[in-house]
């Protein structure tokens, strides 16, 4: 069977423009998907938009449009943004799709039929911003949503509840028996700490008298599904495990292993860890379905000590950065600068530093190598031994593989950049400008140039999952039809190829 990987991002609320937090998560998923494809794996990479709930209903009313009109507009905004940032998703899901609604209704009906849902009354502090309830402890002392900082409101209403508490011990056991199920470890420990307290049941509905914009519960048509339940099920819908219209008691529910489910990796921000590491797995347990294989909770982009927030007016626009510097520079900065799983601070100075790393190390190597090949050999790569950097190539590939296995993408990119530095060091060591002046050293010069061109071929593969456009351009200059896989790049014969120097891959930043 083909080695397969199913990678997901959260689905993003269709109420605001794509911001740098959305961009980071989605670019990270895209890079991991590209590395997987390069390794020969079949990949399903899912992203999309979350289109139900009170926030959508209220924002649509504020704009004077129907909720679906707002959702249509925002879904296109996200698609356009991901196209501009070279996001190569395989599936863009919208929770207003008829197929998804069908699967959600079958899922919750299955929970109901299995005795895990009951009617009751709920009262608590509700945040419209996060579409969730918070405890007194969580909102103390100012009675504000601890994630967005916005006010919460006291709500009392009849709801339908999922018996989440019944699965508390099973979930604790799963986390303990699978130490890498939640990464990084600090987030796993956070969930284990959360689970040391009694786990309440989960309100999974909202009455239509308060909220009409949602998925109607099949067993209680006067209620709609809680938006987080609807949203989480998107991962299952997109897997194709259950065809729309499948009955809740159909045997297909017991044979989902033939589909893309379970997901191999849910990529999320740390602020939605509880919903993904507690709500979602217990819902799956209730439905008798396998759990996702791993959750990676990344950190926040901060300005100074403060998380970027639309309400604070300190959100960085990724599309403006892309306009100013290109998508490759933005993708490189976000993935190279943030240690996977930790917070990182966004500053123009650090952006410049990471851009200069691309320009001065990788870009400079490409200019030197292609320029010297054009100058000394009329742009034709010598048919000569090209193994002068074999050890450095093997080290880079091994370090990259080890970092990716741990989802430490920043370290994987560091391994790629270290190899580019090693190749620049090889230039200084071999001094091809001196070799060119001595006819007796013509074979040495041929070996130097062939080795350096081969290094660029390998580098094009190493950097391609992040610097998509520039590595395609580099591959073209190297006389290749496209960026090779890393396996092919390591064995590709470069002798006799025509190369072209071209303009600098990463031109100097000009600031006002």
Q: What are the pLDDT digits (tens) for 6-61?
A: 999 999 999 988 888 899 999 999 999 999 999 999 999 999 999 999 999 999 99
Q: How far apart are CA 391 and CA 362, in angstroms?
A: 19
CB-based contact 474:369 (threshold 8 Å): no
> Is the pLDDT confidence value at 164 over 80?
yes
Q: What are the pLDDT digits (tens) for 430-440?
A: 999 999 999 99
Confidence at residue 126, expressed as pLDDT on a 0 to 100 scale: 78
Confidence at residue 1, expressed as pLDDT on a 0 to 100 scale: 35
Backbone angles phi, psi at 368, to 5 degrees: -65, -50
Q: Which residues contact 96 (CB under 8 A, 6 or more apart)?
A: 51, 52, 68, 71
Confidence at residue 305, expressed as pLDDT on a 0 to 100 scale: 61
> Is the pLDDT confidence value at 146 over 90?
no
**Higher per-residue pLDDT: 324 or 388:** 388
Which of 130-144, 217-231, 279-293 bottoms out in mean pLDDT, i.e. has the lowest? 130-144
pLDDT grade for 145, boundaries at 50, 70 and 90: confident
Burial class for 137, CB neighbours closer than 10 Å (0-12, 13-18, 19+) = exposed
Helices (H), 348-485: 348-357, 364-377, 390-405, 409-430, 432-435, 442-463, 468-477
306 DSSP β-pair partners: 303
Q: What are the pLDDT digits (tens) for 418-462?
A: 999 999 999 999 999 999 999 999 999 999 999 999 999 999 999
DSSP state of 280: H
Q: How far apart are CA 130 and CA 227, in angstroms?
A: 10
Spatial CA neighbour of 27 closest among 372, 330, 441, 234: 330
Q: How far apart are CA 340 and CA 407, in angstroms?
A: 7
Question: From edge to edge, which strands make up the β-sheet containing 216-217?
Answer: 205-207, 220-225, 216-217
Token output for 167: 């699965």
Confidence at residue 161, expressed as pLDDT on a 0 to 100 scale: 97
Token output for 343: 């917070």
Q: How far apart are CA 288 and CA 340, in angstroms?
A: 32
Which of 86-95, 108-117, 125-134, 281-290 bottoms out in mean pLDDT, i.e. has the lowest? 125-134
b/e map of 365-383 (b: 16 or more CB within 10 Å)?
bbbbbbebbbebbebebbe
Q: Which residues contact 441 (CB under 8 A, 6 or more apart)?
A: 434, 435
Q: What are the pLDDT digits (tens) for 55-79?
A: 999 999 999 999 999 999 999 999 9
> Which residue shows structure tokens 């709920």?
122
> Is the pLDDT confidence value at 122 over 80?
no
pLDDT grade for 150, boundaries at 50, 70 and 90: confident
CB-based contact 509:325 (threshold 8 Å): yes
Q: What are the pLDDT digits (tens) for 74-109?
A: 999 999 999 999 999 999 999 999 999 999 999 999
380 DSSP β-pair partners: 498
Q: How far apart are CA 383 and CA 496, in angstroms?
A: 6
pLDDT grade for 368, boundaries at 50, 70 and 90: very high
pLDDT grade for 151, boundaries at 50, 70 and 90: confident
Q: Is 307 helix (H, G, I), strand (E, B) or coil?
A: strand
Q: What are the pLDDT digits (tens) for 335-349?
A: 999 998 889 888 888
Backbone angles phi, psi at 159, to 5 degrees: -135, 170
Q: How far apart are CA 8 and CA 241, in angstroms?
A: 15
Strand positions, DSSP E, 227-382: 265-269, 295-298, 301-303, 306-307, 344-345
C-alpha dihedral sign at 423, 428, 433, 435: negative
Q: Is 160 helix (H, G, I), strand (E, B) or coil?
A: strand
Stretch 139-147: mean pLDDT, rounded? 78
CB-based contact 309:252 (threshold 8 Å): no
> Is the pLDDT confidence value at 3 over 60?
yes
386 DSSP β-pair partners: none
Cα Dmax for the chain: 91
CB-based contact 191:184 (threshold 8 Å): no
Burial class for 437, CB neighbours closer than 10 Å (0-12, 13-18, 19+) = exposed
Which of 225-234, 262-271, 297-306, 494-503 bottoms out in mean pLDDT, i.e. has the lowest? 297-306
- Predicted TM-score of the model (pTM): 0.92
Stretch 487-510: mean pLDDT, rounded? 92
Confidence at residue 346, expressed as pLDDT on a 0 to 100 scale: 85
Which of 131-135, 369-373, 502-506 bottoms out in mean pLDDT, i.e. has the lowest? 131-135
Spatial CA neighbour of 505 closest among 379, 364, 325: 364
pLDDT grade for 200, boundaries at 50, 70 and 90: very high
Confidence at residue 341, expressed as pLDDT on a 0 to 100 scale: 86
Cis before 467? omega within 30: no
Stretch 315-329: mean pLDDT, rounded? 85
Query: To 10 degrees, what angle do helices 348-357 and 327-337 make?
Result: 100
Token output for 399: 């370090």
Percent of the chain with pLDDT over 90: 82
Cis before 141? omega within 30: yes
Token output for 24: 């980071």
């Amino acid at each position: 069977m083909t080695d397969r990987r199913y990678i997901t991002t959260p689905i993003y609320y269709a109420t605001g423009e794509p911001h740098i937090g959305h961009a980071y998560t989605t670019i990270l998923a895209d890079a991991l998907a590209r590395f997987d494809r390069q390794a020969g794996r079949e990949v399903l990479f899912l992203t999309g938009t979350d289109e139900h709930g009170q926030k959508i209903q209220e924002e649509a009313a504020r704009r004077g449009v129907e909720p679906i009109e707002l959702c249509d507009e925002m879904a296109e905004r996200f698609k356009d943004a991901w196209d501009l940032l070279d996001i190569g998703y395989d599936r863009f899901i919208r929770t207003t799709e008829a197929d998804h609604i069908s699967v959600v209704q079958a899922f919750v009906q299955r929970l109901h039929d299995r005795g895990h849902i009951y009617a009751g009354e709920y009262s608590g502090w509700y945040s419209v911003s996060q579409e969730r309830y918070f405890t007194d402890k969580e909102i103390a002392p100012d009675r504000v949503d601890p994630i967005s900082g916005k006010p919460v409101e006291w709500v009392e209403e009849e709801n339908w509840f999922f018996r989440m508490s019944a699965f508390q011990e099973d979930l604790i056991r799963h986390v303990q028996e699978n130490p890498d199920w939640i990464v990084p470890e600090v987030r796993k420990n956070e969930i284990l700490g959360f689970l040391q307290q009694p786990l309440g049941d989960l309100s999974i509905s909202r009455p239509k008298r308060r909220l009409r914009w949602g998925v109607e519960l099949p067993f209680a048509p006067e209620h709609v599904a809680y938006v987080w339940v609807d949203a989480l099920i998107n991962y299952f819908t997109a897997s194709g495990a259950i065809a729309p219209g499948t009955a809740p008691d159909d045997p297909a529910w017991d044979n989902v292993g033939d589909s893309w489910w379970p997901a191999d990796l849910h990529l999320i921000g740390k602020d939605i860890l509880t919903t993904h590491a507690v709500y979602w797995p217990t819902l799956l347990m209730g439905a008798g379905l396998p759990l996702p294989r791993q959750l990676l909770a990344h950190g926040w982009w901060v300005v100074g000590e403060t998380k970027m927030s639309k309400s604070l007016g300190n959100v960085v626009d990724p599309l403006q950065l892309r306009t100013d510097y290109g998508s490759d520079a933005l993708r490189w900065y976000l993935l190279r600068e943030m240690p996977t799983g930790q917070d990182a601070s966004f500053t123009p100075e650090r952006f410049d530093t990471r851009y200069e790393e691309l320009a001065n190390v990788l870009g400079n190597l490409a200019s030197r190598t292609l320029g010297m090949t054009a100058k000394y050999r009329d742009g034709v790569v010598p048919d000569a031994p090209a193994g002068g950097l074999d050890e450095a190539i093997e080290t880079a590939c091994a370090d990259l593989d080890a970092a990716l296995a741990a989802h430490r993408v920043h370290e994987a990119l560091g391994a790629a950049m270290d190899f580019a530095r090693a190749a620049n060091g090889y230039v200084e060591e071999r001094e091809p400008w001196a070799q060119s002046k001595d006819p007796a050293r013509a074979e040495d010069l041929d070996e130097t140039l062939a080795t350096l061109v081969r290094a660029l071929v390998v580098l094009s593969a190493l950097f391609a999952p992040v610097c998509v456009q520039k590595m395609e351009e580099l591959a073209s200059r190297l006389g290749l039809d496209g960026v090779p896989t890393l396996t092919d790049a390591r064995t590709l014969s470069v002798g006799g190829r025509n190369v072209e120097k071209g303009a600098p891959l990463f031109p100097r930043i000009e600031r006002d």
